[in-house]
Structure 1
Amino acid sequence: LSCTTFNIHAPIYRRLGHDEESRESGSRDLWLSRNQKILDLLLQKNSSVVCLQEFWLANDELVQLYDRRLGDAGYKRYKLARTNDRGDGLLTAVKKDALRVLDCRELHFHDCGDRVAQVLHLKSNDKIGPREQQQVVLVNTHLIFPHASNYSLLRLRQAYKILKFVEHFKDERSLSHAPVLLCGDWNGSKRGQVYRFLRSQGFVSSYDMAREYWDIDADAHRWVSHRNHHGNVCGVDFIWLLNPTRQQPIPLRESWKRAVFGIIKLSFSASFGRDAFGFFLQGKEHVTDQDFHAAIKRVSLFEDLEGLSREEVEELIVAADLDANGVIDYKDFQRLLNHEKKSWLTRLFQGLHETKSLAGADLQVQHASFYPPQVEEGTWPESYSLSDHAPLTASFCP
């Protein structure tokens, strides 16, 4: 089983030179030539599954090009447009001689980013070794770009919606034994809360697994996969793997709350220095419900622009009051933040090592690589022009 994920940079977003108004979509020769080269690369890789983001669904000629060339190569295609006529969306292509698609569902996030996800139930056509045909739940998605400081919260909510949907999808189809692959452009690095949230639920990055990158700090910038329109390079494209024997006992909502507290901590630290609790107190001995609401609003995490709802803030207050005395004191605050930090770091190191030796219904990461190879060394080659993202390909075996 092999999978390639690639944000192919929709021509409607691809800038030409330094002109903010000029887009590649206005030059047919440019976008057609570039996408032919993208297809050449994808067909050369010959992956079992191809997950594309920023696929220009509004252009019939480009859609027909991909349909024709992928169809001729034996791929079945599934497309999903972003909501509100954004023009682009997702394309997932499955090699028919390798896998059967037993179900395909669409997930609409219904938020300001108009983002979507595809969820597929796949089954191998042939037996893999001594076991029956391999079954996999695969997700293709593209989370929102961090246009504003509180968009980290929006990305986290999108990731939560995906995992909640997958949880129901697996229960509905009795797929507790099936591994999960999350593919796409996550628009966040290894130091972000989405990464920590997924790790807390047992997911591992296939590329980091293949390269044995265990140290989140030392290895955070070993590789890059994206150069954004500001010229910054970062690693945002992942193929996440969750094996059935790595399911976490921590409830999904609990992991989400811990990740939100991580975002709150970073927001306070960025705005008011290291003493986040001192900011909460404002000269008082305890933090009340009203204090918490006011503090969340001051760092733009409350209600406006996809911030926390009043119900979510109340949920966080209950979670923060660890001794259930009706207020949040310094001990509650420190225990909460220290527990959040320790929990995901512990899972990061333990999970990566343990997953290497798992058997049974699990998948093992056999190989993973980016193209072009320079991005694996943390640099972005000026000669690379297929996209502003690097494709990631990973292969798996029992």
Structure 2
Amino acid sequence: MTKERNGEPVGDRRKQQQKRNMKKRMRMGCGSMVGSERCVSCTTFNILAPIYKRVSEGDQSCRESQCRAYWLSRNERIIDRLLGDRSSIICLQEVWLGNDELVDMYEKRLGDAGYVSFKLARTNNRGDGLLTAVHGDYFKILNHQKLLFNDFGDRVAQLLHVESVVPFWHGQKSSVQQQVLIVNTHLLFPHDSSLCIVRLQQVYKILQHIETYQKEHNLDSVPIILCGDWNGSKRGHVYKFLRSQGFVSSYDTAHQYSDVDAHKWVSHRNHRGNICGVDFIWLLNPNKYRKPLRTSWNEAVFGIIKYLLRAASLAEDNAFAFLKVDSPGDYITYSGFCQALHQLGVAGHPHGLSPDDTKDLWIQADTDRNGAVDYEEFQQRIWSPKCREPLEEQIAGETGGTQAREGGQLAFGFNVKDAVLFPPEVEQGTWPENYSLSDHAPLTVVFSPVRIPCGQPVC
């Protein structure tokens, strides 16, 4: 028989106490010391701009922005929670930057608590945007850059280059004040399958910008943290694209979840009433296994092409015939390939693949460079490509699983120490009706520093 205390089963009380203890650790994460290590924490949260929040089921045009008392109270509670968590880094999406009173409230309260904040509005006066805040006790800002995608959806991203104020590592002869690259973004919502390419292009532009910045500032051996609302789940093409580049989902790493565990947690209830996991904090530690960016991009686009072919109920043979179009032989021609991509909706319009993108895909598909793609090449590149993700031992290196080798070149990275979503129900794959902060759940991750071996010429 289950024992009870104060009308509550002991087992349930133990689970709740464990949850409270974890939350306590999360709140302590940004300032806690583990041996000689100083942990840092990061929170990402889409706070739902009042211009988008519906307040009446009967009247869809009625928005929270029309009632000051509503949006003011909700955002005050959001800030209370953020300040209670005391993360070293805060990345917010859908901040109502078109309202000076709300912006001033965030900047003042965060500033009074020791944060330095940067805001970036979406293009074409959309009304909302991003706000990234870094606590001055843990990081100093070396640089801040704005990334405007200038494409459908008016999406933007922020890149912050920071350095730890207090050394993370103390050695007998030296100490390390480590630099980190932080990105905050909010990708386009996939209203239809034709926007898959747009969302992939947005991520490609972010990674391309990071790669360029690293080369310009000689930053090959620094960890990268990507935060935001990615508007796509673990089953999506963006997720696979980032994985192919060596990034790991911090929450899934902390809980040892694999791709088949996508149903175990959610972070968003969208305007269609669907619950899904779309908010991520991605981590990339410096290592020598990173695949060339354009290679990952081409593989991801081939993945979208296969998805669309299968969505059209085309089996392997029929898919090959579709791409072959009216070719007289048993092969795909370049003109037929272009025509098929137009029919699939991934090319031939302003937001689809450019002619250069299509040409680059063709070069990748035509492995023997004879001007045609035969059935074997179709299988190898489009239908059944080899594994696109790093090997498990490579991923272990990404998450700090390798140990420093004596005499080898050392770099600095992060271990994922802990991660939590709020409210706790979302960690069980459900959405509580009484949750009112946003239509997204805040995600907080605690990182502990780790020294890792680094190869040449690229870490």
TM-score by length of 1: 0.95
Residues 92-131 of structure 1, C-alpha deviations (whole Å, 9 max, x = no match): 0110111100100000000011111000111111111324
Q: Does 1:176 align with 2:205?
A: no
Counterpart of 1:123 (choices 163, 168, 188) is 163
Q: Find the residue that maps to 1:383 and give its secondary structure.
A: coil
Q: Does 1:260 align with 2:311?
A: no
Q: CA deviation at 1:281?
A: 2.6
Q: CA deviation at 1:283?
A: 6.4
Q: Does 1:385 align with 2:436?
A: yes
Residues 313-365 of structure 1, C-alpha deviations (whole Å, 9 max, x = no match): 11111111112111111100101136645222xx2744444435135411111
**Which region of structure 1 is more displaced relative to structure 2, 71-80 or 302-311?**
302-311
Give 2:122's aligned residue: 82
Give 1:331's aligned residue: 376
Give 1:368's aligned residue: 419
Query: What do you get for the CA RMSD once the two structures are aligned?
Result: 1.5
Q: CA deviation at 1:10?
A: 0.3
Distance in 1 separating the partners of 2:393 and 2:155: 33
Give 2:283's aligned residue: 241
Q: Does 1:2 align with 2:41?
A: yes
* Letter of the structure 2 residue corresponding to residue 44 of structure 1: G
Give 1:280's aligned residue: 323
Q: CA deviation at 1:169?
A: 1.1
Contact persistence 1:272–1:279 (CA under 8 A)? no
Residues 62-107 of structure 1, C-alpha deviations (whole Å, 9 max, x = no match): 0011011111111111000110000000000110111100100000
Distance in 2 separating the partners of 1:330 and 1:316: 16
Q: Does 1:11 align with 2:56?
A: no
Q: Does 1:199 align with 2:243?
A: yes
Q: Does 1:152 align with 2:193?
A: no
> Superposition pairs for residues 209-220 of structure 1, below 5 Å?
209-213=253-257, 215-217=258-260, 219-220=261-262
Q: CA deviation at 1:274?
A: 2.4
How many residues are aligned here?
393
Q: Gapped runs of 5+ residues in structure 2?
A: 1-39, 404-410, 450-459
Distance in 2 separating the partners of 1:396 and 1:327: 49
* Letter of the structure 2 residue corresponding to residue 330 of structure 1: Y
* Cα gap change, 1:348 to 1:52, in 2 (>3 Å): farther
Contact persistence 1:7–1:54 (CA under 8 A)? yes
* Letter of the structure 2 residue corresponding to residue 16 of structure 1: V
* Letter of the structure 2 residue corresponding to residue 226 of structure 1: H
Give 2:348's aligned residue: 303
Q: CA deviation at 1:302?
A: 0.9
Counterpart of 1:224 (choices 266, 271, 292) is 266
* Letter of the structure 1 residue corresponding to residue 155 of structure 2: R
State the percentage of identical aligned residues.
53
Residues 276-314 of structure 1, C-alpha deviations (whole Å, 9 max, x = no match): 213223464111111111111111111314011122111
Q: Find the residue that maps to 2:163 and give its secondary structure.
A: strand
* Cα gap change, 1:246 to 1:52, in 2 (>3 Å): farther
TM-score by length of 2: 0.83
Give 2:104's aligned residue: 64
Contact persistence 1:6–1:391 (CA under 8 A)? yes
Give 2:87's aligned residue: 47
Distance in 1 separating the partners of 2:388 and 2:107: 45
Distance in 1 separating the partners of 2:289 and 2:43: 24
* Cα gap change, 1:352 to 1:376, in 2 (>3 Å): farther
* Letter of the structure 2 residue corresponding to residue 57 of structure 1: L
**Which region of structure 1 is more displaced relative to structure 2, 178-187 or 124-133?**
124-133
* Letter of the structure 1 residue corresponding to residue 207 of structure 2: L
